[in-house]
């Protein structure tokens, strides 16, 4: 058996969101980072506001 | 009203496919795609080694380290550029020595660079005039003094807006004084100087791949060089100072996390495959602008040096006549759905540089005069002829109306 040391867990959801970004002009500092991802992390960590 | 974007990337199904391929593997960083991207870039530029990094700024930092720049050392560079080309010197706690630019090409004036190099190495009594104002203390000698001012270590020209600096003259000076030459080619992928590619002209060159660039990876950059030992150093420095023995937790120097992730590398690889197409599309848009703006009163199209055998069109920057009020013009264009930018405010007049080094208006008159009248119009390879037509049409009618003239010159 070949056991990997580690590995990411990627699903259709990840692929879809990345494809979505590639369909917009915002490849850096767009709505996916500044809004969705930061807010999600902040909420998860119990903070009002996050910043990348 | 038409809404014209300032810029935008050119992404096709090929880019999506390669990015998706990465997502199907466990290699989301430092996998096979970055190696292919590096190989493609090295081959394109004609360099033996290419090392991908997380941004052009990170690449510039590593290039400055390789040139041996340490605390207090001096690096000659241009004040007319994006701030990162001077910040990379400050990361090493070294001192940027700004030298004024050539009015036509907006790149470093090589004759002034020659004078600065001579003064800073052979004629120390004249050296202080090149230092930032806050360091021009009379007691402040250069070498072997008690001050913290070190040696001149390298020259860092920027190929501004996709047009190469006068590398023949700069190389001659650099070789004569044994100074490494770092090409900041972050705005100039695809450009050619005397038939040679930007990035193949100095000891090391740096490219950048922000979304408004000729080729994008989202965020990303690349170092290219023929020096094997520098390439090995870059690979170590970008990867937390690891050595190349393969021992993952052996750190032999102070390094950084400047790695380019695999998704970005895949995007870059797909763009590299299409690069001639990407650059040609930008040339076509620049051509449309040139045809329509030629002869329009109040605006001058970008001057191209005879040394520039190909422009690596990054932005389309016109110059406005002195009687045009740029602020009013920009606001009026914006109202008509046309964004524009005053590229670039000189680095020495940025608040942080004024505060740290005591710079003020008048220190670099050519850079300041050029910066006061430049205007970047919407530009990218995906722009349509209709959009260019619309921008030029609106620009023309605004320049003909009296609304955008400076009060003093209203007739």
Closest residue of chain A to B218, computed from CA coordinates: A27
Q: Same structural domain for residues B190 and B228? A: yes
Per the listing, tokens 């999506």 go with: B16
Nearest CB among A8, A14, A28 relative to B219 is that of A28
Query: Any idea how long chain B is?
Result: 411
Cβ-defined contact of A28 to B218 (cutoff 8 Å): yes
B contacts of A23 (beta carbons < 8 Å): 11
Q: What pLDDT is stored for residue B146 in this prediction?
A: 46
The answer to whether residue B229 is domain-embedded is: yes
- Where does a domain end: B242, B274, B306? B274
Q: What pLDDT is stored for residue B139 in this prediction?
A: 52
Q: Same structural domain for residues B381 and B291? A: yes
Residues of chain A whose C-beta is under 8 A from some C-beta in B? 4, 6-8, 10, 14-15, 18-19, 22-23, 25-28
SS3 of chain B: the string is CCCCCCCCCCCCHHHHHHHHHHHCCCCCECCHHHHHHHHHHHHHHCCCEEEEECCHHHHHHHHHHHCCCCCCCEEEECCCCCCHHHHHHHCCCCEEEECCECCCCCCECHHHHHHHHHHHHCCHHHHHHHCCHHHCCCCCCCCCCCCCCCCEEEEECECHHHCCCCHHHHHHHHHHCCCCEEEECCCCCCCEECCEECCCCCCEEEEECCCCCCCCCCCCEEEEECCHHHHHHHHHHHECCECCCCCCCCECCCCCECCCEHHHHHHHHHHHHCHHHHHHHHHHHHHHHHHHHCCCCCEECCCCCCCEEECCCCCEEEEECCCECHHHHHHHHHHCCCCCECCCCCHHHCHHHHHHHCCCCCCCHHHHHHHCCEEEECCCCCCCHHHHHHHHHHHHHHHHCHHHECHHHCC
The token duo for B398 is 């605004």
Q: Same structural domain for residues B47 and B135? A: yes
Mutation site, A27, A31, A33, A37, interface B, largest B CB count within 10 A: A27
Q: What pLDDT is stored for residue B411 in this prediction?
A: 46
Closest residue of chain B to A5, computed from CA coordinates: B26
Q: Which residue has the higher pLDDT, A33 or B128?
A: B128
The answer to whether residue B1 is domain-embedded is: no
Q: What pLDDT is stored for residue A48 in this prediction?
A: 66
A contacts of B3 (beta carbons < 8 Å): none
The whole-angstrom separation of Cα B339 and Cα B3 is 9
Q: Same structural domain for residues B243 and B313? A: no
Q: What pLDDT is stored for residue B275 in this prediction?
A: 98
Q: Which residues of chain B have pLDDT under 50?
A: 140-146, 411
Q: Same structural domain for residues B250 and B173? A: yes
Query: Domain with B188 in it: what CATH number?
Result: 3.40.640.10
Q: What pLDDT is stored for residue A35 in this prediction?
A: 79
pLDDT band at A31 (very low <50, low <70, confident <90, very high): confident
Q: Same structural domain for residues B94 and B217? A: yes
Cβ-defined contact of B16 to A22 (cutoff 8 Å): yes
Per the listing, tokens 């795609």 go with: B33
Owning domain of residue B121: 13-274
ipTM of this predicted structure: 0.89
Q: Same structural domain for residues B359 and B299? A: yes
Q: Considering only CA atoms, which of B106, B151, B60 is closest in space to residue B364?
A: B106
The answer to whether residue B4 is domain-embedded is: no
Sign of CA dihedral B365, B366, B367, B372: positive
Q: Same structural domain for residues B250 and B301? A: no
Q: Same structural domain for residues B57 and B139? A: yes
B contacts of A26 (beta carbons < 8 Å): 211
B contacts of A24 (beta carbons < 8 Å): none
Q: For residue B248, what are the CA distances in angstroms to A52, B62, B107, B308?
A: 27, 21, 42, 44
Closest residue of chain A to B217, computed from CA coordinates: A27
Q: Same structural domain for residues B270 and B320? A: no
Count of the separate structural domains present in chain B? 2
Give the three-state DSSP class for A45: helix
Closest residue of chain A to B18, computed from CA coordinates: A19
DSSP run (H or E) holding A39: helix A38-45
Residues of chain B whose C-beta is under 8 A from some C-beta in A? 5, 7-9, 11, 15-16, 19-20, 23-24, 26, 28, 210-211, 216, 218-219, 263, 267
Q: What pLDDT is stored for residue B354 in this prediction?
A: 97
Mutation site, B11, B22, B27, B57, interface A, largest A CB count within 10 A: B11
Q: Same structural domain for residues B293 and B212? A: no
Q: Same structural domain for residues B234 and B342? A: no
Query: Domain with B290 in it: what CATH number?
Result: 3.90.1150.10
CB contact at 8 A, B197 and B224: no
The whole-angstrom separation of Cα B408 and Cα B325 is 10
The backbone region for B340, taken as left when phi is positive above 0, alpha when psi lies in -120 to 50, beta otherwise, is beta
The token duo for B204 is 């090391």
């Amino acid at each position: 058996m070949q056991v990997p040391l580690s590995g990411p867990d990627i699903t259709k959801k990840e692929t879809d969101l990345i494809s979505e970004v590639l369909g917009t002009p915002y490849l850096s500092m767009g709505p996916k980072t500044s809004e969705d991802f930061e807010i999600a992390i902040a909420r998860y960590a119990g903070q009002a506001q996050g910043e990348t | 009203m038409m809404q014209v974007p300032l810029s935008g990337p050119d992404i096709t199904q090929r880019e999506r496919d390669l990015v998706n391929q990465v997502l199907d593997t466990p290699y989301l960083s430092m996998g096979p795609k970055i190696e292919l991207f590096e190989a493609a870039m090295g081959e394109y530029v004609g360099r033996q080694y290419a090392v991908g990094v997380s941004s052009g700024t990170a690449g510039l930092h590593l290039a400055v380290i390789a040139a041996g720049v340490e605390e207090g050392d001096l690096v000659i560079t241009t004040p007319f550029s994006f701030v990162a080309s001077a910040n990379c010197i400050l990361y090493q706690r070294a001192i940027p020595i700004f030298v004024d630019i050539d009015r036509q090409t907006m790149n470093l004036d090589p004759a002034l660079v020659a004078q600065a190099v001579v003064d800073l190495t052979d004629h120390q009594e004249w050296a202080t005039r090149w230092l930032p104002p806050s360091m021009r203390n009379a007691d402040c000698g250069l070498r072997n003094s008690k001050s913290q001012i070190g040696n001149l270590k390298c020259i860092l020209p920027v190929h501004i807006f996709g047009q190469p600096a006068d590398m023949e003259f700069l190389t001659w000076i650099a070789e004569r004084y044994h100074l490494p030459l770092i090409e900041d080619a972050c705005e100039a992928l695809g450009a050619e100087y005397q038939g040679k590619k930007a990035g193949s002209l100095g000891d090391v060159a740096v490219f950048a791949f922000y979304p408004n660039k000729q080729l994008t990876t989202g965020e990303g950059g690349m170092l290219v060089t023929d020096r094997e030992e520098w390439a090995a150093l870059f690979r170590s420095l970008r990867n937390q100072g690891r050595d190349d023995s393969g021992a993952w937790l052996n750190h032999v120097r102070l390094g950084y996390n400047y790695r380019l992730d695999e998704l970005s590398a895949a995007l870059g690889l797909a763009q590299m495959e299409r690069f001639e197409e990407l650059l040609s599309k930008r040339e076509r848009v620049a051509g449309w602008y040139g045809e329509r703006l030629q002869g329009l009163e109040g605006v001058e199209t970008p001057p191209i040096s005879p040394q520039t055998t190909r422009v690596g069109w990054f932005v389309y920057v016109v110059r406005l006549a002195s009687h045009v009020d740029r602020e009013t013009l920009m606001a009026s264009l914006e109202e008509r759905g046309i964004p524009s930018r005053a590229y670039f405010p000189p680095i020495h007049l940025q608040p942080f540089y004024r505060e740290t080094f005591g710079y003020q208006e008048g220190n670099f008159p050519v850079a300041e005069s050029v910066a006061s009248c430049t205007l970047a119009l919407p530009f990218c390879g995906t722009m349509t002829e209709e959009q260019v037509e619309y921008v030029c049409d609106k620009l023309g009618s605004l320049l003909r109306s009296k609304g955008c003239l400076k009060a003093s010159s209203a007739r």
